Amino acid sequence: MRTLLLLLCSLIAAAAHGAPAKVAVLPIESPDDGTALRLQKALRAGIEANPQITDAGPVGMSLDEARMSFSCFEGQPDCMSQVGEVLRVDQLLWGRLGQVDDQWVFELHLVDVKGKTALRDGRVAGIGPDRVDALEKVARAFAAGEAEPAVHRVALTVSAEPKGSVVRVDGRKVGRTPLTIQVDPGVHAVGVSNTGYVADERMVRVDREPVSVTVVLSPDSVAQANAAQGPTKQGLSTRTWWAIGLGAVAATAGGVGIVMGVEAENLADEGQRLLDELKRTSDPALRERHAETKSDFDRTKLTSNVSWAVAGVAAGAAIGLLVWDVLDPEPSAATVAPTPNGFVFIQRF
C-alpha cells in the first residue's frame, strides 16, 4: 500500500512538472493584414511543434487594445503580464511588423505571466518586402523555441558607364556605381541613371550566387540639344515683377487716398457746421469741438495727399519699368544646362 501511494505521488508530480504552458498569441501588429495573417499561422505552427507550450486559442484583443488597457506603451514584461492574467494563460506572445527604408523589421516577445518576466525577445531587420517566407521561418522558429534561422542574402554588384551613375534597387537609392550591396534572393528592379543620359531600368533575378550587372547608358539627345541651344527664358522678367509690385503699391496707396479724401470732406462739412453754430453762440465746448475737428481734418487731408503722391510715384515707376523691359529685354538668368559629360554654366552679361 505504501509503495502504491509513493508511485501515485510520483506520477502526479511528474504530470504537474511536465504539463505544457498555455500560451495566448495576440494578433500581429502589421501595416499589411495579409502578411500579419501569414505570420500568425507561422506562430501557431511553431507552438504546435513545441512540446513545452500549447495554444490557448484565438484571442479577441489586439496588441494596441492590450497596451491601451493596461498603459503598456513600452511593452514592459511586468505590464504585459497583466494581459496574460486577464486571458488566464501562463505565457503571452506578441509581435510587431514594420518597415524601414522598404525593408521589414519584425519583433517578437514572449513573457512569463506568473513571473512577470521576459522569456524571449527576438528582432530581425533588413528583409526585403518580397521575403515574407523568411519572416514566416523566423516566427515559426521563435514559437518553437528553436534558434533564429539565418536570413540568406546575396551580393549584387552594379557597374555602369559612365561611372558615378545613380543606382536604385526596388525604387530605393542605394549609391553610385560601381557598388556592391547585399539583397534578398528574388527578383529586383535595378535602375541606373545619370544626367544627360537615358535612364536604364531592368529586372534582375538573384538566386543563391552573387550577381553582377553592367549597364552602358546612352546619351540623351534631347538633353544635348537643350545644352546646345542654351537656356530658354521662361516666365516674367525681374523688371516685370518689380512693376507688378509697384503697381500693387500704387493701387493700395490710391485706395488709402480715396478713403482719407472722403473722410476729410466729411470733417470739412462737420467743421463748417460747427463754425456756423459758433457765429450764433460763444459756447466754449462748441469752440473746443471745432478745434478738434479742424485738427482731424488737417491730419486726414495730409494723409490723403501723401497717399496720392505715393500712388503717383509708384505708378510712374511701374510704367517706366514696363517700357524699359519692352525696349531693352532683361538678360536671361544664370542657367546650368546638362551635357553628356557634365554641366555647362550659361550667363549673359
CATH code for the domain of 110: 3.40.50.10070
Residue 163 belongs to domain with CATH number: 2.60.40.1120
Task: Mark which of 114, 144, 174 sits at the end of a domain.
Answer: 144
97 assigned to some structural domain:
yes
176 & 102 share domain: no
Do 21 and 90 touch, CB atoms closer than 8 A? yes
80 & 128 share domain: yes
| Structural domain total, the chain | 3
199 & 261 share domain: no
Distance CA(158)–CA(169), nearest Å, equals: 10
62 & 176 share domain: no
133 & 163 share domain: no
134 & 171 share domain: no
287 assigned to some structural domain:
yes
CA distances from 295 to 61, 277, 300 (A): 78, 18, 9
Structural domain boundaries enclosing 77: 14-144
Task: Mark which of 144, 177, 200 sits at the end of a domain.
Answer: 144
51 assigned to some structural domain:
yes
Could you please report the per-residue DSSP string of 153-172? -EEEEEEEESTT-EEEETTE
310 & 211 share domain: no
- Residue 204 belongs to what H/E stretch? strand 200-206
- Which pLDDT score is estimated for 9? 47
pLDDT by residue, tens only, the chain of 349 residues? 454 444 444 444 444 456 889 999 999 988 888 888 999 999 999 999 999 999 988 888 888 888 788 888 777 888 898 988 989 999 999 888 887 766 778 889 999 999 989 988 887 766 666 678 888 888 898 888 887 665 667 889 999 999 999 999 888 888 999 999 888 777 889 999 999 999 999 999 887 788 999 999 999 876 566 555 555 555 677 878 888 888 898 899 888 889 888 888 888 888 888 777 877 777 787 778 878 888 888 888 899 899 889 888 888 888 988 888 777 765 544 445 555 445 544 444 4
30 & 100 share domain: yes
21-25/91-100 β-pairing: parallel
179-183/21-25 β-pairing: unpaired
27 & 129 share domain: yes
281 assigned to some structural domain:
yes
CA distances from 66 to 75, 116, 148, 180, 232 (A): 10, 16, 27, 44, 62
Q: State the angle between helix axes of 77-87 and 63-70 in degrees (0 to 180), rounded to the nearest 10.
A: 110
Task: Mark which of 218, 247, 264 sits at the end of a domain.
Answer: 218
138 assigned to some structural domain:
yes
18 & 132 share domain: yes
19 & 134 share domain: yes
7 assigned to some structural domain:
no
171 & 247 share domain: no
Nine-digit cell string for 324: 524699359
